[in-house]
Structure 1
Amino acid sequence: MFKKILALFLTLGLLTAPLAGCRQTASLSPDKELLQADFSQIQKEARGQTVAIYMWGGDESVNRYMDEWVAPRVEKELGIKLKRVPINDAREMINKLLTEKEAGKTKGSIDIMWINGENFKLAKDNDLLWGPFVDKLPNYNRYIDGEDYQIKYDFGEDTEGLEAPWGKAQFVFIYDSNKIASPPDTVEALKAWIKDNPGRFTYPAPPDFTGSAFIRQILAGVSSNYDRYLTASLDRESLETEITPLWDYLNQIKPYLWQKGITYPENIAKLNELYAQGEVYMTMSYNPNYADNMIKQGRFPATTRTFVLKNGSLANTHYLAIPFNAPHKAGAMAVIDYLLSFEAQLAKFDPANWGDGLAISLAKLSPEEKEKLKQIKPGKAALSPEELEKYKLPELSGAYVDIIEEGWFNHVAKN
């Protein structure tokens, strides 16, 4: 309905355009002028602005990096006050922007949004994003390989310059090495382990991000031709027919899950609590360094380690985008450019801060920058970059995510 209303407005706009005469074409809109301006002009306009970045607030390491490392430097070097606004789920931002778009609200409250996957596709399909802007950013042009598949495509969707890559992530399982001497390394071995250890494994219920990712991780392991899911080439009926082995697998392990699969943790935080309390022996994350962060905080046992499945480990890029009605677009561009600088990426990569994967290309680094990067070592709970790279798989098309989540509810949760 929203798209139909928008289409009607656009049609009416075209019909009435001649009545506006030269007034409409006399000068560019401020947004267009911003995209055509030199970056030095953009930085000048950004100075003094307060930029609100909306982002998931459930990770203390991420929050600390933003509040204690990024914000003070952005204020000192750019003259911009960065305001982090925590949210529980990225869909909250999408719903807010959809409501504002339908109401014709041209000045919103979100300047930057942390986004990827199906939420990016939703935002893009409904014209909720401003840009394309990434080519205006000096650090994007200096450090980012825009032709890298995992940069150019977000869950199979062409980013078209509407979002800037911020970091890379990969799905890992987390376990207590005191309780599991040799963790399973394939989907079939995982199934066998779950059956041999009833009640010691579970996963968050979708649409929790990590729970949904776990289901896609299993799909990658049980599929004979995972590559066909990378683009939106299948209609809903064909997809649902092809992924029946996924529901078979999840239903086979269901009786052996925590609470016998009658209930699931509502989110990853609940699963992490179960793991920390020893009720389950595994948890999971889309951040390969998450286990180390939790050990440092004293929330996971020191014997915690991570592993990936040899069937393949899902990997993706997460991004920063600017909404169509962001009130401080110049400030948003300046902040995003700063977050793509080598210094900011290096600090983010450091497990002492966040431990997030680099969005910048190693091939574009200077010898001095490469040497600085070598000085940062992964924690003892993390896998080496070489091990992660060896089993990396790209994410499937974002067009399939909602269908898979609905399928889980209908074919697994309701069984």
Structure 2
Amino acid sequence: MSTGLVSAGATFLLPGGRTRSDSLSGRPRLCTGTDLTGARAAVIGMWNEANPDAKVELDEVPGGSRAERDSMVERIKNGAVDIVNLDIVDVREFAKEGYIKEISLPTRTYFPAVERAHRVAAGSGRYWAVPFNSDVGMLFSRVTTGLDTRQPLLPQVIRRDTRGVARFVGQLLPDTENDTEPFVVNVLEHALSVDPGILDRDGRVAEDLVRWQDALSPLRTAIQHNDVVRARNEEETRDLFEAGLTHMRNWPARYRGLRSQVALLPLPSGILGGQSLALVANAANVDASLRFIEFATSAAAQRVAAAHGLAPALTHVYDDPSLLQAMPYLEAVKSALEQAIPRPTHRHYRDFAAAVRRHVLPFLGQPNGRLTSAFTDEIKSTLDPGTR
């Protein structure tokens, strides 16, 4: 299916239709993390075919979200890159630190949460980074009997089934620093399922300790009673789910790799994810880089990315009949993105995430674990509006 959709989209992606473009020169250098879907390679391949004198040179760095961020900073400082493919949580930091510069684009219609996370100013058409794909946390369910989709789903699945067997797996047992982000996303989604105000739609975090204790109490109880299975990351979660569990929390891109059909259900407050292309402030190949970013984030390119399993950020791409016929689950992804909650859009977000792991992990996993005022005090200092 993806092969057919990519072939169909190629005509619209190539500048001038099927003809090559000789108007650009220079080789944009793109630093990005690993992409297991093949979407990025497909889009870059189309660009390079159409622009033989401005081919994108790919610098792929492995290691997970934090390692990718650190590698990008190093390459920017060394003048070795023109474009970076940022995790959405790093856009604010890179902008504030002067690593990237704003981009102006023709009017585009993004999901509200996506728009707010990337824009320089409301309604300006100016962005610090441009979404290559979006993402949102969702519930994968092999068995939906007994689930009330009108109510928050996570509290319903973190209980054992009628046989007394754990049935849910999520990214709740970080092992390395690169497992921090999956853990934080899961913690926020579980907290939001109990208290929707713990993180608002502008990414502001509640600072009341009792609210946090109450919001995480059902998850703590489930972990203490071994009612859930805890995985380190998205890959391990998928493997455990495939081994026989009935529910997991994961990103939509994991759907295509599953060996059996499952339901993909929107969380009322799934955490917003995604990767976005940004122009490096000291880029050597500015014109070609800007043209590639506009090309790679267009509606046609997002259709190609969707064909490989990624979630588009532009709303109208979800109305494409060919995509919906091949991937009807995109309707659920669209619904989830319409309700998605962004993580704090703050230059010190990574410090906030580290604080969540440092304080919340022992609270959830240790019998005598406590969530104290040190946690909320650290949230206040880390997410200080004065350093936003």
The answer, yes or no, to whether TM exceeds 0.5 is yes
The alignment status of 1:212 with 2:184, answered yes or no, reads: yes
User: Normalising to structure 1: TM-score of the pair?
Assistant: 0.66
**Structure number with larger C-alpha Rg:** 1
Shift of 1:387: 7.2
The alignment status of 1:107 with 2:72, answered yes or no, reads: no
Partner of 1:407: 359
SS in 2 for 1:270: helix
Q: Aligned match of 1:345 in 292, 296, 302?
A: 302
1:186-244 deviation per Cα after TM superposition (whole angstroms, max 9, x unaligned) = 2332233469643433322344544332221111111153464734475xxx3544311
Rounded Cα–Cα distance in structure 2 between residues aligned with 1:378 and 1:197: 38
The alignment status of 1:303 with 2:261, answered yes or no, reads: yes
Q: Aligned match of 1:189 in 141, 148, 156?
A: 156
Q: 1:145 is aligned with what amino acid?
A: T
Partner of 2:238: 272
Shift of 1:113: 1.9
Partner of 2:46: 73
CA spacing shift, 1:324–1:219, aligned 2, 3 Å: same
User: Normalising to structure 2: TM-score of the pair?
Assistant: 0.70
1:12-57 deviation per Cα after TM superposition (whole angstroms, max 9, x unaligned) = xxxxxxxxxxxxxxxxxxxxxxxxxxxxxxx988524153231233
CA spacing shift, 1:157–1:378, aligned 2, 3 Å: farther
Shift of 1:253: 0.7
Partner of 2:135: 169
Rounded Cα–Cα distance in structure 1 between residues aligned with 2:168 and 2:44: 39
CA spacing shift, 1:336–1:307, aligned 2, 3 Å: same
Q: Aligned match of 1:251 in 220, 224, 227?
A: 220
Q: Aligned match of 1:202 in 169, 177, 199?
A: 169
Q: 2:339 is aligned with what amino acid?
A: K
Rounded Cα–Cα distance in structure 2 between residues aligned with 1:84 and 1:195: 50
CA spacing shift, 1:149–1:388, aligned 2, 3 Å: closer
Rounded Cα–Cα distance in structure 2 between residues aligned with 1:202 and 1:66: 29
Segment of structure 1 superposing worse, 340-349 or 265-274: 340-349
CA spacing shift, 1:361–1:306, aligned 2, 3 Å: closer
Rounded Cα–Cα distance in structure 2 between residues aligned with 1:212 and 1:227: 12
Partner of 1:360: 314
| Identity, % of aligned positions | 8
The alignment status of 1:284 with 2:249, answered yes or no, reads: yes
CA RMSD in angstroms, aligned pairs only? 3.7
Structure 1 or 2: larger helix share? 1
**Structure 1 unmatched ranges of 5 or more:** 1-42, 295-299
Shift of 1:169: 2.3
Q: Aligned match of 1:312 in 264, 269, 273?
A: 269
Shift of 1:114: 3.0
The alignment status of 1:88 with 2:52, answered yes or no, reads: no
Shift of 1:268: 1.1
SS in 2 for 1:71: helix
